[in-house]
Amino acid sequence: MGPQGAPYESNPGTTTMHVNTMRAGLERGEPQIGTWLTMVRNPAILSLMKSAGLDFARVDMEHTALTIEKIADLAVLARALNFPIAVRPPKANREWITRLLDVGVWNLHCPQVENAGHAREIVDASRYAPMGRRGNGGLSAATDFDHTVPLMERRAHANRQIFVTVMFETARAFDDLDAIAAMPGIDALTIGPADLAQDLGVAGTPDQARALDEKRDQILAAARKHGKVAAMLVSSFEEMTRWKNAGATLLAYSSDADILYNGYAAAMKRIKGS
């Protein structure tokens, strides 16, 4: 970080490089509170979210129609605003990871991570040597179009800024929880509650909340053991307080679609009296 936590890092010369402020905040022990971006396409939504006090936006490509071109627009503005986005790709593979990083995304939210082998592939695709085998895309938004920083210094900086969260969404994935949590290059752990509940056979049943909380507790314990971040999705202030107090520091509250729907529904109920 630059002086007083400024979102730039100086090299030995005069050039400054952008810093991933979400990662920097987590490393300082500061909880990072964001929301899912699933519907709004206008990049100005990032400025609105920052002004509202959020720390980041998590953009979903797995379950939306968002394209790589729109992600590229969001990533450039995110860097200019120093308001980071995290992106959940359609699939956590080398192709998608490479493309997202090359358009300037710092934070990856990787779905359907089934085992330690898959986690290792994610690390390999997201980090340059010696941590991994990320391909070099040359001058781009990912380098801020700055050709003055020496190649190896730029790669080392990128390795320090990338932040990878892996999602545990099946019972099988938890067999490798300890190995994945211990892996260098895996920065945060979380569950995908809907898919996990389906895989556990408890979706829509009275046992769903208990079963998912057991898995959340396993995530928290593994994160504490290995010095990683625990991430949680929450839908209320009470849930936010509960999981924050339990040790989760990367928290996504609701989504743009839910916030808009609930806000309009509440307003119309008062206005129309029904």
What tokens were used for 173? 């994935």
E-state strands within 198-264: 229-234, 250-255
**Element containing residue 126 per DSSP (H, E):** helix 116-126
Grouping H, G, I as helix, E, B as strand and the rest as coil, residue 24 is helix
- Report the phi/psi class of residue 144: left, alpha or beta, with left for phi > 0 and alpha for psi in -120 to 50: left
- What span, in angstroms and rounded, lies between the C-alpha atoms of 170 and 124? 23
**Closest-CA residue to 162 (of 109, 114, 216, 221):** 109
Of the listed 63, 109, 147, 226, which one is catalytic?
63
Q: Report CA-CA distances (Å) from 184 to 53, 107, 110, 206, 264.
A: 31, 16, 16, 38, 44
Whether 63 is catalytic: yes
What tokens were used for 3? 């002086």
For 17-35, b/e burial (b = at least 16 CB within 10 A) is: bbbbbbbbbbeeeeebbbb
Residue type, 228: K
What tokens were used for 26? 């987590």
**Closest-CA residue to 152 (of 22, 3, 8, 11):** 11
Q: Which residues pair with 38 in a beta bridge?
A: none
Where in the sequence numbering do the catalytic residues fall? 63
